[in-house]
Amino acid sequence: MKLFVIKIGGNIIDDEKQLSWFLNDFSSISENKMLVHGGGKIATELSKQLGIEPKMVEGRRITDADTLKIVQMVYGGLINKNIVAQLQARNCNAIGLSGADGNIVLAHKRAPVDLTPNPSPTGEGRKNKVDYGFVGDIEKVNSEKLSALFTSGFSPIIAPLTHDGKGQMLNTNADTMASAISVAMSQQFDTTLIYCFEKSGVLRNMDDENSVIEKINLKEYEKLKTEGVISKGMIPKLDNAFDAIKQGVKSVVICHAKELNKLIKGQDSGTRLV
Amino acid sequence: MKLFVIKIGGNIIDDEKQLSWFLNDFSSISENKMLVHGGGKIATELSKQLGIEPKMVEGRRITDADTLKIVQMVYGGLINKNIVAQLQARNCNAIGLSGADGNIVLAHKRAPVDLTPNPSPTGEGRKNKVDYGFVGDIEKVNSEKLSALFTSGFSPIIAPLTHDGKGQMLNTNADTMASAISVAMSQQFDTTLIYCFEKSGVLRNMDDENSVIEKINLKEYEKLKTEGVISKGMIPKLDNAFDAIKQGVKSVVICHAKELNKLIKGQDSGTRLV
């Protein structure tokens, strides 16, 4: 059986028109489908309004208790339910979930990472230990429970939140969630993972939307990475995408959100990972 | 088949210890179970922090666009997911939902209500027309989809939010949701509806927790209402509770949250509606 796992980025969510077009296309998919959505600007704006400064340590964003509350509210409550309501209006029986709901994505709190170059074995000089706070690294995706939702006619809409099984919600990267869920589902489904965002695909030249790399394999990716052709922001996305390929997902594509329509019809668009 | 629909009030949600005890008891129910939760103080606090003044017209609270965002975030994202994560830690496979999710509770935006005494037929003097904003009056509970969730082993945890089927989320009273859901489910299940709150039941004397009315029927309720024995705050709750009885729910009880344990064992506690 076919399954589409589609990730949608924050820039699309922030743009009412683009989101609306995207949801039209998503709801038109007749096969099993699932959406993983990111955050967008709203969480940052709400933090500012509440006077919560983004906490950065060694250039990395920390999810402290206040920030977790914000993302739980904005991703799990505001964005997730707005998308669900809009899909219901398009006759798509969407069901909005976090990783805690139905225990679909279990994670553990990320252990503090030591960024000290060559720390002594006694732990001296470990000044750069970074505690990311309430960030969840995925342990297990409960593919059986997700399948049961398909059987009941639901299309899961998943917010980038997980839980640790001990009562704690955690913040997890949406690209990573889409990848891990696709891997788990590909045991049972012929799974296509599509990363939809605001660019036409992986670009050879960041400033030229016509420079899309149509196909890319792991070797080429590593080469382009060392050459500096593939830029910083794309690296985690492509790492997640290649993780999915390595672990058995049949088809992974990175494309512009407005091109989803073509891909679900079996046409090509954006960058296909091979 | 047996089903417990349990409503929990805001005062219990705001009290970490009481909530924890309650969730222990809820998770110990071996039959089909469902939780409908209210709001609590957090939404009011967040509104204050964001400088959103509660809008009151003719003494009634209005859900404007900003307030809807707040309740969607706090009820749907923060409270709902925290309860779900805590139930998962207790081996209860909770799934958090709003009325939009799976289209389980469809509503329509409440029409403006004219509070003018004896308005003229031409509409003159209709100065007191109150638009409640994004408040949802329930149209339909999708009991089949809720049953499907039981079949898959889930316990739905429902936030007091609905949708209009046209893409709009709406704010709906949690007591009303619990009642409407119980009525719909009682077609198929032997349904017990339990309203858990911070008092021992319906009290003859508001200040005396030992004055619990153990059984009450509609006639007695109407009498106590006209006598002023049953106070303002209890009236909408009891109206909802009697609605459930009138429409076929077998058993409706109003009790203290800490007494849930007794009720699920078949013992008596609080006020039973007959």
What pLDDT sits at residue B120? 61
**Which of A247-256, B203-212, B244-253 is the least confident region?**
B203-212
What one-character-per-residue DSSP string does A185-209 give?
HTTTSEEEEEEEESSSSSBSSTT-T
**Which of A68-77, A107-116, A147-156 is the least confident region?**
A107-116
Q: How do residues A32-60 score in pLDDT, each as one tens digit?
A: 999 999 887 899 999 999 999 888 776 67
What pLDDT sits at residue B219? 95
pLDDT band at A120 (very low <50, low <70, confident <90, very high): low
- Closest residue of B to A169, CA-based? B85
What pLDDT sits at residue A1? 92
Q: How far apart are the C-alpha atoms of A197 and B57, rounded to whole Å?
A: 44
| Domains of chain B with CATH codes | 2-273 (3.40.1160.10)
Residue A195 scores a pLDDT above 90: yes
- B25 in contact with A at a CB cutoff of 8 Å? no
pLDDT cut 70: percent of chain A above it: 95
Residue B155 vs residues A75, A252, B27: alpha-carbon distances, Å: 22, 34, 9
Residue B60 scores a pLDDT above 80: no
CA distance B245 to chain A (A): 30
What pLDDT sits at residue A28? 97
pLDDT band at A171 (very low <50, low <70, confident <90, very high): very high
pLDDT cut 70: percent of chain B above it: 95
Q: A88, B96: Cβ pair inside 8 Å? A: no
Q: How far apart are the C-alpha atoms of A21 and B208, rounded to whole Å?
A: 59
Please provide the average confidence, as pLDDT, over all residues in chain B.
92
CA distance A9 to chain B (A): 19
Q: B97, A95: Cβ pair inside 8 Å? A: yes
What pLDDT sits at residue A119? 58
Give the tokens for residue B145. 């989809």
User: Which residues pair with residue A61 across a beta bridge?
Assistant: A56
CA distance A160 to chain B (A): 12
Give the tokens for residue B168. 């709009």
Residue A155 vs residues A94, A141, A148, A150, B101: alpha-carbon distances, Å: 5, 16, 11, 6, 10
Per DSSP, the three-state class of A8 is strand
What pLDDT sits at residue B206? 85
Residue A137 scores a pLDDT above 60: yes
- What is the mean predicted confidence (pLDDT) over A157-165? 98
- B152 in contact with A at a CB cutoff of 8 Å? yes
Q: How do residues B106-116 score in pLDDT, each as one tens digit?
A: 999 999 887 77
What pLDDT sits at residue B17? 95
CB-nearest to A85 from B74, B153, B163 is: B163
Q: B102, A89: Cβ pair inside 8 Å? A: no
Residue B223 scores a pLDDT above 90: yes
Q: B81, A166: Cβ pair inside 8 Å? A: no
CA distance B176 to chain A (A): 20
Q: B93, A145: Cβ pair inside 8 Å? A: yes
- What is the mean predicted confidence (pLDDT) over A217-240? 90
> What is the CB neighbour count within 10 angstroms for residue B118?
5
pLDDT band at A122 (very low <50, low <70, confident <90, very high): low
What pLDDT sits at residue B232? 76
Strand bridging mode A215-216 / A271-273: parallel
What pLDDT sits at residue B233? 79
Interface test with B, best of A20, A27, A82, A88 (most B CBs within 10 A): A88
- What is the mean predicted confidence (pLDDT) over B128-139? 90
- Closest residue of A to B170, CA-based? A85
Residue A127 scores a pLDDT above 60: yes
